[in-house]
Amino acid sequence: MKRQDSLNDQPSSPDAGLLGRRTFLAGGIMIAAGALAGCQTVVGLPDQAELPDEEFDYASAYAALPDGDYTWPAINYKSFDEQYWRQVVDYKTRERPGTIVVDPYNNFLYWTLGNNKALRYGIGVGRAGFAWSGEALIRVKREHPIWRPPREMIARKPSLERYWEKGYPPGLKNPLGARAMDLWQGSTDTLFRIHGTNKPSSIGKSVSSGCIRMWQQDVIDLFNRVPLRTKVIVLSEDPNQAA
């Protein structure tokens, strides 16, 4: 009985075998090339934007951004240290892909991607950003959030009392900016927020008030990637000093 090719049920021959090997190798190369060309995170929400790469268009990413009834102003990103631009970086962690790690000491927020990579954003940190650390989940995601000042802030600035009942309305001047993600531990609201800011110059700095601030374009980008119940870890000490 003649030997039959199990793939196409045709008689085998040296030429046929060579062709088969070439086809297999070519197919493997095409698959590998496709995987590299389409290298994209598999974590997070569907239909999210591509991750920044070496050819990422920062001018477009930080341009004025129409968003419903508002248009968030462009960011003069070139006036900031490049480390605070949205970018994929090497990041070793034991946390599962899709976890957010906030490093308030170095003004970074990491969204872990797996394979020792993370999408890193620059952040600004207020006193509240150092007042709480630990693990929580994003239980509430708000577009165009209303801001209600905490009682401690009202005590320092009584004129804010008028915003306690109904809150500060959404808009370009709202302290929470374009988006807010509220962190909860079980049924307890930590009052810790990841949010936008109407003061872009605060990114990369420790400021007087607020939790974790991000450029409007960056907080919208993160908001569109992470689902509810995303785990968030806020570090309790400077990882550089710990190392």
The answer to whether 211 is a known catalytic residue is: yes
- Determine contact, residues 138/230, Cβ cutoff 8 Å: yes
Check 75, 138, 211, 222 and give the catalytic one: 211
- Determine contact, residues 128/206, Cβ cutoff 8 Å: no
CA angle in degrees (0–180, nearest 5) for 88-93-98: 60
- CA within 13 Å, CB half, 95: 23
Check 139, 144, 195, 225 and give the catalytic one: 195
Classify residue 230 as exposed, middle or buried by CB count within 10 Å of its CB (0-12, 13-18, 19+).
Answer: buried
Active centre residues (catalytic):
195, 211
